[in-house]
Structure 1
Amino acid sequence: MEKIELALDHIIEAVLSRIPSVVLGILILIAGSWLIGLILRIIRKRFERRSVDLSLRDFVASIVKFILYTMLILSVASMVGIQTTSFVAVLGAASLSIGLALQGSLSNFAGGVLILLFRPFRVGDYVSSASGAAGTIEKIDILYTTMRTSDGIAVFAPNGPLANTVITNYSSITKRRLEYKIGIAYESNIKEAREVILKVLNDDYRIMGTPKPEVRVSELADSAVNLVIWAWAPKEQFWEAYYENFERIKLALDANNITIPYPQQEMRIVNVPGTGDSGGSLGGDPPVTP
């Protein structure tokens, strides 16, 4: 009975001796939480003033919040009397194990950080990558970037490969070049064909005057003289101008009797003396003369 009473006395003394540090730890936890909230509000206001992208705001805020709360919890635990050295060692070992198990996800995470920091594209841009992904950017997350293709399909591209490949951003330009390759017959007049095509392009209000449209001979092919046609249009009207002028050029060439040939092969039959038909039968016994 005396041993139990002694044990209880030790426990009570230990608890009483810890009360000031526990109370102080609770107060620091409350004050630290308030201070972290204040820091996050200041960061968000700074981002709003500088018009920082929303995806980058959320990403930086979440990282800062995680770091500050981790430091606060470790400080309070150390103040209360909890040994944090072993806790940090266990946390480091667990982080290493998780990192090895999630190498692909960490690669995507690093890619997301690079995309959010260097901003090769933004929400609303139309991009294509060498990996085959193409579409309008709808959302940039830490691990994946969401795109919407021209036919309305959602594409989720991992940020790791996306950040390490060649990215073509079509929205960062103000104009795009239309390019056609059309073949005309060798009998057709190249100068007349050029004038017809340039008239079609110059009559379209969407085609820009600077740089001027050009029509040049690109190749003397087997069955046609190939022409390459260049013209510029604002990026918002590029596709409409591209397809409509393609059709107009074809109709204008037809109206001016300028032929667009198709591949042909010429076959010649040569009669070799002594092998041709001399009026007799092709097979069997030779004709009998009376």
Structure 2
Amino acid sequence: MKKLDTLLTHYVENTIEYIPQIVTALFILALGLWLIRAIKKFTHKILSRRKIDPTFASFISDVLIWGLRVLLFVIIASKLGIQTSSFVAIIGAMSLAIGLSLQGSLSNFAGGVLIILFKPFRIGDIIEAQGESGKVINIHIFSTQIVNYQNNVIYIPNGVLSNGKIKNISQNNLLRAEVLVQTNLLKNTSEFIEKLQTELEKYDKILLQPKPRILIKELLDTKITYNVQVWVENDNYNIATSYILLKAREISNSL
């Protein structure tokens, strides 16, 4: 019993002696979390005021906040008497092991950083990459999210995306649509071209400058293939090409 009493007494004394460190650590934790929230709001405000790209701003903010959280954790561990040197060594070893096991994810992370820094495309752009095409709706750190013309959501890993060929269709805001139109051999080809040209210039989704062009691409014994070239804004690309095909068929049937 004496040994048990001695052990309990020693335990209580150590606990009482340790209470100030626990209180201090809790105070530092509360203060640190409050400061981190304040820094996060301040960072968002500064980045928004400087009109930084939203994806880049979010990435910078996340890196800063997680760095501050790790620093706060190390400070609290130090106040509780944990040796920070051994703690840092453990974190380093864990980081190395995680890095070796997640090489693919790290490649995607690096690709995400490159995309955010060099901006080959932005949210809202229409791109073609890795055999897929669609509108960019989100740029994450590990993958880029696009929606194709069938409204399917596609996630492309940033590693292969940053190292591959990317066609940014909407970067210049205007597109030249080229539509192949095929008709039977008409007696009056000039009249067909003239009427189609008139319809193209009347349509408000097709720009007048540069002027629409109708070229003969292929001339055979029984049919003619025209290459209709028009300039449109990005959002009007599909509707303009459909209009051209429809009007070409109507004019061809009327001659």
Query: For the superposition of Structure 1 and Structure 2, which TM-score range results when normalised by the shorter chain?
Result: 0.7 to 0.9
Whole-Å separation in 2 of the counterparts to 1:231 and 1:86: 68
Letter in 2 for 1:136: K
Q: Does 2:141 match 1:142? A: yes
1:79 shift after superposition: 4.2
Kindly, what percent of the aligned residue pairs are identical?
35
Amino acid at match of 2:172: I
The aligned runs of 1:48-127 (5 Å cut-off) are 48-127=48-127
Q: Alpha-carbon deviation of 1:41?
A: 1.7
The two structures, once aligned, show a CA RMSD in angstroms of: 3.4
SS in 2 for 1:230: strand
CA distance in 2 between partners of 1:18 and 1:119 (Å): 53
- Name the CA distance, whole Å, in 1 between partners of 2:19 and 2:204: 82
Count of aligned residue pairs for this structure pair: 255
Post-superposition offset of 1:120: 3.3
Displacement of 1:189:
5.6
The AA in structure 1 aligned to 2:77 is A
In the alignment, which residue of structure 2 is the partner of 1:234? 233
Quote the residue 1:214 is aligned against.
213
Structure 1 unaligned regions, length at least 5 = 257-290
Q: State TM-score, norm by structure 2.
A: 0.79
SS in 1 for 2:196: helix
| Richer in helix (by share) | 2
CA distance in 2, matches of 1:37, 1:186: 73
Q: 2: CA distance between counterparts of 1:80 and 1:35? A: 20
* In 1: Cα distance, 2:160 partner to 2:174 partner: 28
Aligned counterpart, 1:281 = none
1:284 corresponds to which residue?
A: none
State yes or no: 1:177 paired with 2:176. yes
Q: Which has the larger radius of gyration?
A: 1
Rate the CA distance shift 1:218–1:27 in 2: closer, same or farther, 3 A.
Answer: same
How far apart, in 2, do the equivalents of 1:185 and 1:31 lie? Answer: 80
Kindly provide the CA deviation profile for residues 119-178 of structure 1, in whole angstroms up to 9, marking residues without a partner as x: 33333333221x022222333322222222222222222222222223233343332222
> What is the match of residue 244 of structure 1?
243
Letter in 2 for 1:128: E
- Alpha-carbon distance in structure 2 between the residues aligned to 1:22 and 1:233: 67
Q: Please report how far the alpha carbon of residue 213 of structure 1 lies from its aligned counterpart in structure 2 after TM superposition.
A: 1.6
> What's the CA shift for 1:43?
0.5
Question: Unaligned regions of 5+ residues in structure 2, if any?
Answer: none
The two structures have a TM-score, normalised by structure 1, of 0.71
* Structure 1 residue 10: Cα displacement: 7.9
Amino acid at match of 2:64: V
